[in-house]
Chain A
């Protein structure tokens, strides 16, 4: 059987499904009055430490934050953040080096978003791929450690 080759123009972003989900998330969070931040840094910079401190201070001010925390393995970070008394869920990526919008969607299930003022998403410690996946956040927070030199920042230009 002979077949005729055809060309079909598509012109779509490869991550359009993620982007679409992220847009939906952003609208939903915004509609519930939840301000969402995506925390990124190299591994070991202190994202979790910074969040522990931040969550504690926000609670002391009477605000209602929640946190999603991404790691390749273990729920150590969620355990640490839970000590602040804030609702926290661990996202274990099983080897994936970044969070995707779908993971955020899944892990928000069952939470009444109307209860929260702020949502903190602690991304996987990595300055490369977390920069290309939209998670529905309003803004990114990049934590740099002293050893993340000028050179490190130049090495990860998208973050």
Chain B
């Protein structure tokens, strides 16, 4: 259960990037690979706890889940996997050449801009 540490890292990363004067974040967009070792439901649960008392409190966490993509050396092509058997779905060749699926990325944030409002 490391989702709470992950949620805390996410919150501090957002706070670091937040333009000066911004007091309210409304949404956080994340990219989550199937191999990131993070359970989406657990992360969402921990997000509410980790954001409490921060400018992120009450914001929505939007997660885009990314499947595993491996490169098949036989087909010379990237193949999307449905499960976690590292095998080309077309020809059956085993491959550990992972091209997508490890993502645990903060993509973007949405926030209320106080300067634009007062202008």
Interface of A toward B, CB cutoff 8 Å:
1-18, 96-98, 100, 128-129, 131-132, 154, 157-158
Known: A12-B13, A97-B1, A158-B37. A6 touches B113 (CB 8 A): yes
Band of interface residues on B: 35 or more
B109 contact from A2, A10, A100, Cβ within 8 A: A10
**Chain B residue with minimal CB distance to A17?**
B9
> Contact at A5–B26, with CB atoms within 8 Å?
yes
Chain A residues whose CB sits within 8 angstroms of the CB of B91 once the complex forms:
none
In Å, the complex CA distance between A6 and B84 comes to 38
Would you list which residues of chain B between 1 and 30 have a CB under 8 Å from chain A? 1-2, 5-6, 9-10, 12-14, 17, 19, 24, 26, 30
> Contact at B113–A129, with CB atoms within 8 Å?
no
Interface of B toward A, CB cutoff 8 Å:
1-2, 5-6, 9-10, 12-14, 17, 19, 24, 26, 30, 35-38, 84-86, 102, 104-114, 116-118
Chain A contact residues, majority secondary structure: mixed
Question: Apart from A5-B113, A7-B108, A100-B5, what 4 extra A-B contacts exist at CB < 8 Å?
Answer: A3-B24, A3-B113, A11-B105, A14-B106
A-B contact pairs, 25 of them (CB 8 A): A1-B117, A2-B117, A3-B116, A5-B112, A5-B113, A7-B108, A8-B17, A8-B108, A10-B13, A10-B14, A10-B106, A11-B105, A11-B107, A12-B106, A14-B105, A14-B106, A15-B9, A17-B13, A96-B2, A129-B37, A132-B2, A132-B36, A132-B38, A157-B84, A158-B37
Q: Most B CB atoms within 10 A — which of A6, A9, A129?
A: A6
7 shortest interchain CB distances as A-B pairs: A3-B112, A4-B116, A129-B2, A3-B117, A6-B113, A9-B108, A14-B104
> Contact at A6–B104, with CB atoms within 8 Å?
no
**Chain A residue with minimal CB distance to B18?**
A8
